[in-house]
Amino acid sequence: MQCSFMISNLSVAISGTAQRIALSLAATIALGAFGLCLPATALGQQAGSSDSAQLAAGRRIYVEGILPSGAALSGLRQADTLVSGAAAACVTCHRRSGLGQVEANVQIPPIAGNYLFANPGDKRLVTMDPHVSKSFNQAHDPYTDATLAAAIRDGMNNRGKVMSEAMPRYAIKDTELQALTAYLRHLSAEWSPGVSATSIRFATVITPDLEPARRKVLVDMIRTVVRQKNSSTKLANQGRTRHHMTSAAELILGTERNWELEFWELQGAPETWGEQLAARQRSNPVFALLSGASAGTWQPVHDFCDREQVPCWFPSVEVPGKQTSPYAFYFSGGVTLEAAVLARHLRDQAQPPRHVVQIFRDGEVGRSAAQTLASALAGSGIATTERMVRPDLPAVDALRLTLGKLKPDDQVMFWLGPADVEALGKIDPVAGKHYFSVVLAQGEHALLSPQWRKNAALIYPYELPENRLKNLDYFYTWLNLVKIPLVDEAMQSEVFFSLNFMTDTLSEMLDNVYRDYLIDRAESMLSIREGMKSAQETRDRVALGRAGDLAKRHGASTMDERLRIQASGHEIGTGVSHGTTLYPHLSLGPDQRFASKSGYIVRFADDKGIKLITESALIVP
């Protein structure tokens, strides 16, 4: 199990198991079962050439299951099960990158050209088991056009053996097969832009509406993380000692790279951001947008990533892009998830309310939240009314005007930020139940006055506080060790995870540094990675607790051991963590782009606002 660079200061040593794996892999490579990956110049030498029309036709067969004629690709699976169209497309099993995956106990091998047609001594290595770093694609003789045709049409591999019946036997003509073969030779043939043999370049986008305090802590965290990561990176043929654990394959193959990072701070109106991003990408291309933050719209950044096919890797945003993109991953739907959670909660009540009034500030965030809730309640019998807070009046006056003429049985949804929530304290509560957005109002730390807390409920898309404390133990510890203040728990823990997950994913990708493969790995590995990482952190927390007990018994007076125990401001316990973020559960699957999909309805236990209690079980809308 790989330990992130961000806990390298906790002095986690490489395990004996990993050492044995490394030695075994070294011996395997020495025997010639695997070959080292070639540099980018060699990767650019494709096995064949094809014009753009043929590549486009091959791509459509591979990705969509559509033949050049417009007819659906078809084949037989399990001898007599007909599959066609999208269900028959190669991407369904072999993924966008062509580098395969693991489904249950079935290893689906890579079929990108550099793997299918590799010559002896020019073999490539792909990690095929997501649970352990010691199972890789099997070496085989290079395919020819003829043996590949037999595999695709008849299910016979180039050793003359029958392939798995899960692989369809396709009805495909010679010209169609030629187009598909040309595309496979082209697929994952060259490293993506922003990648060299020794470095990989990222950018972090910051929109101009981000508050200065949040911007500063985001930049400080990312700079610290990248500096720590690069100081622990051991490049190939470099004598530097490694200070963090890496996978056995990465250790032997020397595929680590330094990170180069730029901050792309956008200026002006959102409609100008797209060209700003495109200009930066043209002048100095990046492999991916890493983390990032916005207090308003993110749509222009989302559109840029979709258009340029640049991965957008878990930014901290209140409203993600509206249309799903293959290249944009988000922690959750932000306020739109909150709206969906509340709608489900209201609809499922034994006596649903008759009327919900939504109060919000004009802007992308408020409009998106209100529209989502109204749409989700359509046809439920629950009427909705939307009221915008006037921007030309002081907050208290504008809110008092907006709250006018509410009926006693009205329920109110406040899509408001901290300043407006605090201003409500100068107004007497009105109407019935009041709901508040945790994403906008900063969680249970919302500046609600005691009289408003009594009848307030929070839409809570995060893990409950008692469990979140264990899940974020390493995050709190790291902040203390690097002396970065806790300004915004949600944003900072998201940044911590985003960079941590990128490190782990790139490590497992080895030398296959392709954007589509990054997407494939994120989809297939997130939930597995979370389970393994949280288990590892629980074991480390127990070990550190024991070390602290030993230090106390021996009267340790230095900060060294005690810092490891008390760095997060509390004694590290032995409780089991179930994740590494502030969210209840993270998972992805093919074409899923929101990692967290659930939330609670909670309320304050008393008017002091210290403790929360749940009004609902976990809601998955």
- How far apart (Å, rounded) are the C-alpha atoms in residues 107 and 137? 8
Q: Please, what is the average pLDDT of the chain? A: 84
pLDDT at 392 over 90: yes
Residue spans of beta strands (DSSP E) within 101-171: 101-103, 106-108, 169-171
**Mean pLDDT score, 327-356:** 97
pLDDT of residue 238: 62
Q: Which secondary-structure segment (H or E) carries 178?
A: helix 174-186
pLDDT at 36 over 70: no
| pLDDT-wise least confident of 124-138, 280-294, 440-454 | 124-138
pLDDT at 33 over 60: no
pLDDT at 421 over 80: yes
Residues found in the chain: 621
**Tokens standing for residue 288:** 């991916």
Domains and CATH numbers, the chain: 45-186 (no CATH), 335-460+599-614 (3.40.50.2300)
pLDDT at 49 over 50: no
Place of tokens 């969509």: 64
514, 188 in Cβ contact below 8 A?
A: yes
pLDDT of residue 287: 98
Task: Classify each residue of 306-319 as buried b or exposed e, where b means 16 or more C-beta atoms within 10 Å of its C-beta.
Answer: bebebbbbbbbbbb
Whole-model pTM?
0.85
DSSP bridge partners of 76: 82, 169
450, 608 in Cβ contact below 8 A?
A: yes
pLDDT of residue 414: 97
pLDDT of residue 297: 95
**Tokens standing for residue 16:** 């004996």
Higher pLDDT, 190 or 102: 190
462 φ/ψ angles, rounded to the nearest 5 degrees: -110, 170
- How far apart (Å, rounded) are the C-alpha atoms in residues 379 and 363? 26
- How far apart (Å, rounded) are the C-alpha atoms in residues 66 and 59? 9
pLDDT tens for residues 492-521?
A: 999 999 999 999 999 999 999 999 999 999
pLDDT at 443 over 90: no
429 φ/ψ angles, rounded to the nearest 5 degrees: -60, 145
pLDDT tens for residues 51-65?
A: 899 999 999 999 999
pLDDT tens for residues 542-571?
A: 555 544 444 444 343 332 333 333 333 444
pLDDT of residue 80: 86
Q: CA of 331: how far to CAs of 327, 388, 447, in Å?
A: 14, 28, 25
| pLDDT-wise least confident of 16-25, 53-62, 153-162 | 16-25
- How far apart (Å, rounded) are the C-alpha atoms in residues 515 and 547? 42
pLDDT of residue 541: 59
pLDDT of residue 488: 94
- How far apart (Å, rounded) are the C-alpha atoms in residues 37 and 200? 16
316, 219 in Cβ contact below 8 A?
A: no
Place of tokens 């408003």: 452
**Mean pLDDT score, 205-216:** 97
**Tokens standing for residue 53:** 């029309």
610 φ/ψ angles, rounded to the nearest 5 degrees: -90, -40
Q: What is the DSSP string of 207-250?
A: -TTS-HHHHHHHHHHHHHHHHHHHHT---TT--PPP-S---HHH
| pLDDT-wise least confident of 114-128, 189-203, 360-374, 450-464 | 114-128
Q: CA of 590: how far to CAs of 111, 126, 129, 502, in Å?
A: 18, 19, 17, 18
- How far apart (Å, rounded) are the C-alpha atoms in residues 166 and 75? 11
Dihedral angle at the C-alpha atoms of 65, 66, 72, 74, nearest 10 degrees? -40
pLDDT of residue 188: 96
- How far apart (Å, rounded) are the C-alpha atoms in residues 558 and 565? 12
**Tokens standing for residue 591:** 């074409």
pLDDT at 278 over 90: yes
